[in-house]
Copies of this chain bind each other. A is one copy, B any other.
Amino acid sequence: MAAKHIILPADEMPRQWYNILADIKMNPPLGPDGNPINPQDLAPVFPMNLIEQEVSTERWIDIPEPVLDILRIWRPSPLTRATALEKALGTPARIYYKNESVSPPGSHKPNTAVPQAYYNKMFGIERITTETGAGQWGSALSFACQQFGIECKVFMVRVSFDQKPYRKAMMETWGGRCVPSPSTETKAGRDALAKDPDTPGSLGTAISEAIEAAISDTTGKTRYALGSVLNHVMLHQTIIGLETKKQLAMVGEYPDVVIGCAGGGSNFAGLAFPFVCDKINGKDLAIYPVEPAACPTLTRSPFVYDHGDTARYTPLLPMHSLGHDFVPPPIHAGGLRYHGMAPTVSQLVDEGILEPRSVVQSKCYEAALLWARTEGFIPAPETAHAIALTVEEAKKAKEEGKEKVIVVGFSGHGLLDLGAYEKFLSGELHDVPMTDAQVVDAGKILAGHPTPQHLKST
């Protein structure tokens, strides 16, 4: 019998990240004047070493040794054959999952939190602000900052803050500080509260708060960190896909299908980009980012220039966006409640290299329950989106009688999301897919925004 887990030897852990900017053409971010921004414009927000990484087009970028040292706490992560799920589905497909839930905060997020904390530390930064949706990113950054002796302040989207009280405790265990967003600590937060005192909050508003808190610190020792969307975040996450490729090679496999959930895009990109590189170079495979039907950025919204945050502190980024003012309904997959999408992922969708899918909440929990009852591990609500499509693809393989190889990103566990499972089991979770009218309405804020060029990387 083949081993269930494919364990990459420690000395095979990747020493470089893969930078997709070497292989695709991108529209530049634009400033308030409509002209491409230059790196210096971002200096109040990010340390210059990360800005340089953000704009680099080098294909391979070395992972610093102190970063590798901390990644080794949980990396290389296992690639595991989902044999029990396969059996339950009676599918001829071979399903492999890359398990990023094994990190201390329980998700893929520390893959970028650790290098971001490191580069900030190297630049002399003493305090980092950020936002968090589900709480995965805030936890990961608190953990990473603790490792480098940096202060961490997290603005957590209120609906998730209320749904997941343990997240705050987790951040504090690692020395972070966490407040619900919108808060009264920033102008962006106060404005959002004035508009709707009962708002569930949104990632867009929380990002505004965190950026404002960083740039308004006059000592110059505070910077902001983003857990997704930007190029350097996608870059740091590619260690997932790079390990996966090595592990698949160990058992002589290559995927026909790659599946990952996508909120801002970093989990998806981390797994998928090393395979996208192959696809650009002629390899035939299907690559699916999966998003919630309640926040269908890739499947229902236009490819436009839009701001990454509600208060428009960020440059205009070329991306699929529901509009920077959009407040997604309070679904439990808080990490996927984002109005926009990483420009790189958006560009690849626009080019037809990626084929986005959306799933309603109930289908996700149904699939997650099947997963928990076969493979054992309880998936995060975000991860459940990828699992829902995996189950669908495995069933399709059965109908077609095809021995497909499916690789799915198990981006995080759901141990701090069990309240959502309880609601699902008691029939209290309802699906809230966006209607056509809502999509049109949400997009109104995009009127007059510039349109990115349609580029072709292949």
Contact = CB atoms under 8 A, between A and B. Distances in A.
Contacts of A63: none
A421 B173 contact: yes
A250 interface: no
Contacts of A272: none
Contact of A166 (B172, B373, B377, B419): B419
Contact of A372 (B4, B174, B419): B174
Interface residues of A, number: 40
A369 interface: yes
A172 B73 contact: no
Contacts of A73: 4, 84, 375-377
A173 B102 CA distance: 20
A335 to B, nearest CB: 17
A205 to B, nearest CB: 25
Number of copies of this kind of chain in the complex: 2
A168 interface: yes
A415 B106 contact: yes
A251 interface: no
Contacts of A4: 10, 72-73
The binding surface of chain A is classed by DSSP as helix
Contacts of A143: 376
Contacts of A3: 10-11
Contact of A102 (B102, B422, B425): B102
A170 to B, nearest CB: 6
Interface string A164-182: 0110111011110000000
A175 B376 CA distance: 12
Given A103-B376, A168-B422, A415-B415, 12 more contacts: A3-B10, A3-B11, A4-B72, A5-B10, A73-B377, A102-B102, A166-B415, A169-B425, A172-B421, A172-B425, A173-B373, A173-B421
